[in-house]
A and B are shown apart, each in its own frame.
Chain A
């Protein structure tokens, strides 16, 4: 029986990575997520499971090491923060275009540019709408606790291998740096078998395997794109995840994920003490986004406030979901500022109830 331990979110991701049977971690240090690679380095994963750990010369190199390892059929992951994730976008596009599984962690900090090292959610567009070039989607998981930071590592691998698609855990500096109690799953053995699509050396019993995203013939490339879109539709139908908190009697709704959803829970308690019946809808998968489930809530509530640590990115998806049937507004702080629970209650009153 595993017991609870106290751990930072970043450390929990690292420990969970070893236990999930990760074959290789390739990364480059950047605040506020360097604890991931530091924890791994101290934990001697090679002795525990044979897991490979390599500090690359750049995020660009790291994501391409992932591409190589993923093409070899292995469970590979990296972690970084916003500017580093920007550097990885080319590689992420190649991985998606070559239909390879891998796990990416973005511990988001405020931008644009070098920005700040404080927490932010301003990479929502980048994670959910593309990021790199071409028609592709990542599966994006948004944990809201240290326990979920750990749990989403193995969930992420399961989804990545099920769909042969990169999965991103999108979190932020607050969840990465905070400690909560967490219970880990038992150690999973590293897989000894290679998937049949992996480059492991051409044996006489099979055709050679080529991992590529290149096809110079437009009609073949279009057929491939259509195949990808079929896959994405399947993911949309089967993998939407969300949590509804005190939504049954809600007359108003907060829509928030990750750290913002935690703060909104407190705002919800405060508002309810004043007699305002507000619920919280927390998307867990940012892609695929729970459009249908939010649309259902539009019939029940009088307004929705999307609370994000950004200028308002997810709010566009909330608006898309409700198709103008109910009032939707956004409240957020930027630049690494975390909104207070009090501010959010005030915003609800001004923008949704009184507005």
Chain B
């Protein structure tokens, strides 16, 4: 199995840490992983994105032009990465702030209103975990316990009291993700 993912949104949405948790979940299940962020001036206040590769085999290029999955969390990222999803691939997006919804007809599209849900849950910081939950619902890559272990590994110990809240958010994501269109 090899899964090539782009996660893209605004800086501060937890894009990079979501990728890291996903990688650590893979490590927990003995997989090879790579996490390649866009770095530089793009980091400052603007968009943030990270390419994550999860694979049973040794990973060749950590830098990709096309993806099995795009997780898109703002309009700029929609404009940039919708076309980069491989035919038959997956696009997950948060509807918050999206003015032009995905138009591709050859890919599977899911929507998760995680920003809204995070506000309802009273902690906007759980936003990325809701999205992660939604992704795991669709892709069913890892056992939930591996993901929780991955979460523990990627959070500094001083934030470990946040793990139950994050776990709850992952569960919430599993519940609220909605299918928009599928090609299979």
Contacts and interface: CB of A to CB of B under 8 A. Distances in A.
B61 interface: yes
Majority secondary structure, B binding face: mixed
Contacts, number: 68
B32 A174 contact: no
B63 A263 contact: yes
Contacts of A177: 36-37, 39
B166 interface: no
B37 A6 contact: no
Query: Size range of the interface on B?
Result: 20 to 34
Contact of B34 (A5, A117, A178, A340): A178
Given A4-B27, A179-B35, A265-B60, 10 more contacts: A6-B35, A178-B35, A178-B36, A178-B62, A179-B20, A259-B63, A262-B62, A265-B61, A269-B60, A338-B63
Interface in A110-130: 117-118
B40 interface: yes
Given A6-B153, A6-B154, A180-B33, A173 B61 contact: no
B23 interface: yes
Contacts of A117: 39-41
24 contacts: A4-B27, A5-B153, A6-B23, A32-B40, A117-B39, A117-B41, A173-B39, A174-B62, A177-B36, A177-B37, A178-B35, A178-B36, A178-B37, A179-B23, A179-B33, A179-B34, A180-B32, A180-B35, A180-B59, A181-B23, A181-B32, A262-B60, A262-B63, A266-B61
Nearest to A340: B65
Nearest to A5: B153
Contacts of A266: 60-61
B24 interface: yes
A342 B23 CA distance: 25
Interface of A: 4-6, 31-32, 117-118, 173-174, 177-181, 259, 262-263, 265-269, 338, 340-342
A32 B27 CA distance: 26
B65 A342 contact: yes
Nearest to A118: B40
Contacts of B62: 174, 178, 180, 262
Contacts of B35: 6, 178-180
B128 to A, nearest CB: 16
Interface in B25-63: 27, 32-37, 39-41, 59-63
A117 B38 CA distance: 11
B109 to A, nearest CB: 25
Nearest to A32: B39
Nearest to B16: A179
Contacts of B24: 6
B34 A341 contact: no
B61 A263 contact: yes
B149 to A, nearest CB: 12
A271 B32 CA distance: 23
Contacts of B154: 6
A117 B60 CA distance: 23
Nearest to A109: B40
Given A262-B62, A265-B60, A266-B60, A174 B36 contact: yes
